[in-house]
Amino acid sequence: MRITQTSVALLATLLFAALAAGPALAAPEKRVKPATQKKTATTQKKTVTTQKKNVVAQKRNVRKASIAPGIEAPDQDAGRLALQSGAVVVVDQEDGDALYRKNADAVVPIASITKLMTAMVVLDSIPDLQAPITITDEDVDYLRGSRSRLGVGATISRETALLLALMSSENRAANALGRHYPGGLPAFVAAMNRKASELGMHHSRFEEPTGLSSNNVSTASDLARMVAAAHRYPLIREFSTTPGAQVEVSGRLLDYNNTNSLVKSPTWDIGLSKTGFIHEAGKCLVMQARVANRPVVIVLLDSAGKLTRIGDANRIKRWMESAASGRRPLTHA
């Protein structure tokens, strides 16, 4: 075959074009193996999971940081204490030291905790406890409509009225005690406030003897003083911790029970007890008790829910017993 110059030129042109095309004639790319694709997908999933965990942790940190001052976050450490009641004081009676304080100086309504002051003022007057007291329309609760089995016209002894006021928080009995005070109800309320001043309850004010008025106010610190003072009255100790009693009212035997279920508990050694509730005050509970072989005063105010105050009391008990058994200091910060 004869190769001419024209043929050579044509071949050179074709070769140059092939070299210029480059990528089109390049070797095909290697296919990614399925195993490699799976590893890549797994890595991506791990990255997403880690990001989600970081977001959850950030939210948790924000929630902890947003807890209001004076409100403690729950702590799983047995040596620490976190309570749900709005205001709390736990005081060692032997040395007067506060073992726990939370919003202790906030002035708040105290509901039927009032009746401890009512009982002290009644007993301070050294009355005839067997004298009859008659329930009248003046003792009926027209403010909140609370119920009572002491009908208008019923007559009971002053001692029975005191028992029902302390054990079962009977409002008509408490009001009748105030009415039968020398000088009547105005003199009784004046004596309540005078007694509070004598006890150093400088942030407390009483308007009536039942606690139905939200104008009966105090602080957890002041109430700790009141509980300690009331504990010095044997009859208040006895009546406030009586689990239940049968009382004759207008010829009928009626069963009354203590409003604090803990007085029936074999695990508690309670020397004084009083509960209270109105909407403005929340659920309240004050006690004198012996816990971990120490006499203490416990004040729980503004508890939400039916069982919160009882739950807080039991948490305080476990906290003190745990610290005593482990010889650890009581901490709650």
What does each C-alpha distance from 93 to 99, 144, 267, 329 come to in angstroms?
10, 36, 20, 17
Catalytic residue among 112, 204, 218, 273: 112
| Among candidate residues 37, 122, 97, 49, the one with its CA nearest the CA of residue 228 | 97
> Is residue 85 a contact partner of residue 144, using CB atoms and an 8 Å limit?
no
Active site residue 115: yes
Residues contacting 138, CB < 8 A, separation 6+? 175, 179
Catalytic residue among 85, 148, 168, 169: 169
- Tokens representing 76 are 């799983």
Residues contacting 299, CB < 8 A, separation 6+? 87, 88, 89, 90, 220, 223, 224, 227, 286
Tokens 């991506």: give the residue. Answer: 44
Active site residue 283: no
Active site residue 213: no
User: Quick one: angle between helices 171-179 and 184-198, nearest 10?
Assistant: 100
> Is residue 73 a contact partner of residue 82, using CB atoms and an 8 Å limit?
yes
Nearest-angstrom CA–CA distance, 190 and 194: 6
| Among candidate residues 191, 159, 195, 193, the one with its CA nearest the CA of residue 176 | 159
Catalytic residue among 85, 102, 115, 221: 115
Which H or E run contains 119?
A: helix 114-124
3-state secondary structure of 187: helix
Residues annotated catalytic, as ranges = 112, 115, 169
